[in-house]
Chain A
Amino acid sequence: MNAAGIGVDAGSTVVKACAVTAAGSRIWQHVELTEPRLEEQARRIAALAREQAGAAPLVATGYGRKLVAGAERAITEITCHARGVFAELGSGGTVVDIGGQDSKVISVGADGSVRNFAMNDKCAAGTGRFLEVTAARLRLAVEEIGAMALAAAEEVPISSTCAVFAESEIVSLIARGAALEAIVRGLHRSLVARLASLVRSLGIVEPVALSGGVARNPAIAAFLAEALGCEVKLPEAPQLMGAYGAALLALD
């Protein structure tokens, strides 16, 4: 067992980092947008982490995991998110991780290990990118659309789960005079429908918990709970779960 552990989650949109004590409590965390020169960025962030946690072992995860110099191991987000959420919630269950580039549903065993997982197809349907693209089309900030969707009184159905097709669907809805709020609500519903079918494909094992940056959008948790018919838990810092899990794995 090491005295401390560092996790760096080099995602496609955001780089997250975290340091934990030997007991597993978070002592430091850091989040910034992914830069084109990820390798340099990761080196800088690792140095920052080492200032906080000393010469602790480092585990890298995320799409850029192989670019993180000085990492003892590179482990997939699936294993890391499972570990992070397990530590946070203290039990196994189902983790729904919505990332910028892909979404995953992970079935976590009572010991925190991955039992099974499913991921979205090779496209942006069901991912954070879907919301980003469609929000941009509506000239809305991605941070505000969740609250907007929840507050909307009406909802128009969006049949496309494909980000590209949804964009053109929006254009025609606007042309037909649909309310912006109603479209936004419909978009969330469409994203969640895709996620819910992914969850069902693995089988719902409660508790269901969200992780990943998109989980901060309040409409996602609310709609997913509705779609699955069960409570959906939200960790305190969903975006950090991958880095946190990586840091915990660094302790092993």
Chain B
Amino acid sequence: MSIEGALRYYLGTGIGKGVLRFERLRNEWRLRHRAPKTSSPFSPPLSTSPWLKELISRHYLTGRYADAHRKVAWVTSGAPVEFLKALGYYLLYPENHGAVCGIRRRGEELCQAAEEAGYSRDICSYARTDLGSLLSGRTPVGRLPKPDLLLCCTNICQTVLFWYRVLAAHFRVPLVIIDTPFIYSTAPAHAVDFVQRQLELGVETAERVAGRSIDPAELERVTRRSREAVELWMRVLERARHVPAPITAFDEFIHMGPIVEMRGDRATVDYYRALLATLDLRIARGTGALKQERIRLIWDNLPIWYRMRGLSELLARHGATLVASTYTNAWGELAALIDPSDPMRSAARVYLHPILNRGTGHKLDTIQRLATDYAAHGVILHSDRSCKPYSVGQMDQRERLSARGIPALLLEADHNDPRAFADEQAENRIQAFLEMIPS
């Protein structure tokens, strides 16, 4: 890494961070002094929102300059990243970048760019958004750093395997694959051994690329912070059990940025601690995220990134909101499995157990448990055209939930490709569903 590169990195991120801090302070001031809109069905935004914005913007800002000075790895959302963090890598999550593109309504254009290059519309819209961004050079975050290493873990789907192979061919960099056998209940020891061995090989590759050896103490520290962040995240989610819920799943979809992208960082732990305190304050004051909460719902599957606001407003018009989701829950439910004193073994175990690497029965149980714990009136099952592993079994899940007295709606859409979403029809289904729920 050159001196010039280091200069560009520290100067670019240094100035940028100053600007972002200024923006945060300004936004916080505005939030404190702006008169709340009386006509809005929502309470004012969470007071930590400007901080969150700063945190995420800073992450992408660092990314802009990262490859001039640091090693960069592109990783899948469910990848065991602690060893990369301990080696000082900057981590980029193409799926999260995809979500940012979705929220900023750039998904369609980028998917199209990938389709023009021959990628089928049946491929996950995250993969298409990412490849489209890569091929066209367009991104709403300014610039993405080039990877030195790719880490792909198949615990979420098989799509990532082929997607990352394309990336490896494109960037001509090493690809570490962690293959996770499918789990029906808990992982047998041989599966944990199998994953651990792959992790050890992965560490070797990552060390070679980084040109240094891993410091076990640092790995333990990162793992400890990961666990702390995951535990805090779970507590944040659990605050929504309160009636009225101080935070909705719509908020959580945005607030999950740090737990996915910056798990293992000190800043993430600090942020969630502050968020928790804000929620406790809301609970103490009896403030709900929605001013008049009447119907509490559970969401299954990824959010519809490009329609978050529209959906939350539609629900709010009927006094309804999302109080939990299997998606946000997936980032917290494994906290207990993380053991900082044995980072490699525990990583192998943790990363074998995400919801998408387990049977559909486990998901049904999770939904049911969420419905009970969060006093929900119903469930919206987002049938995501892109994410087959998440959507498979939803028909049966709907029936089984209904049979147990939990009304469920199957809503067809796609998390990042708006062409697979019909506004009028979705609204009709949701409204009919809400009319069905006795209140």
Contacts and interface: CB of A to CB of B under 8 A. Distances in A.
A76 interface: yes
The 10 closest A-B pairs by CB, nearest first: A78-B432, A76-B432, A114-B436, A79-B435, A122-B422, A76-B431, A76-B428, A116-B402, A122-B425, A76-B435
Interface string B419-439: 010101100110111011010
A119 B407 contact: no
Contact of B425 (A102, A113, A116): A102
A73 B68 CA distance: 60
B23 interface: no
Interface string A112-155: 01111111011000000000000000000000000000000000
A77 B438 CA distance: 17
Interface in A90-113: 102, 113
Contacts of A63: 424, 428
Residues of B in contact with A, size category: 10 to 19
Contacts of A121: 412
B412 A75 contact: no
Interface in A15-64: 63
B150 to A, nearest CB: 36
B371 to A, nearest CB: 16
Interface of A: 63, 75-79, 102, 113-119, 121-122, 201
Contacts, number: 40
A93 B407 CA distance: 17
B217 interface: no
B412 A117 contact: no
A187 B217 CA distance: 71
A122 B419 CA distance: 11
Main secondary structure of the interface of B (DSSP, over half): helix
Contact of B432 (A117, A122, A201): A117
A176 B232 CA distance: 69
Contacts of A79: 432, 435-436
B395 interface: yes
A78 B407 contact: no
Contacts of A119: 425, 428-429
A185 B347 CA distance: 61
Which of B407, B420, B431, B432 has the most C-beta atoms of chain A within 10 angstroms of its own C-beta? B432
Contacts of B435: 75-76, 78-79, 114
Given A63-B424, A102-B425, A201-B395, A113 B412 contact: no
A122 B428 contact: no
A117 B425 contact: no
Contacts of B431: 76
29 contacts: A63-B424, A63-B428, A76-B431, A76-B435, A77-B428, A77-B432, A78-B432, A78-B435, A78-B436, A79-B432, A79-B436, A102-B425, A102-B428, A113-B436, A113-B438, A114-B432, A114-B435, A115-B436, A116-B402, A116-B407, A116-B436, A118-B410, A119-B425, A121-B412, A122-B412, A122-B420, A122-B422, A122-B425, A201-B395
Which of B420, B429, B436 has the most C-beta atoms of chain A within 10 angstroms of its own C-beta? B436
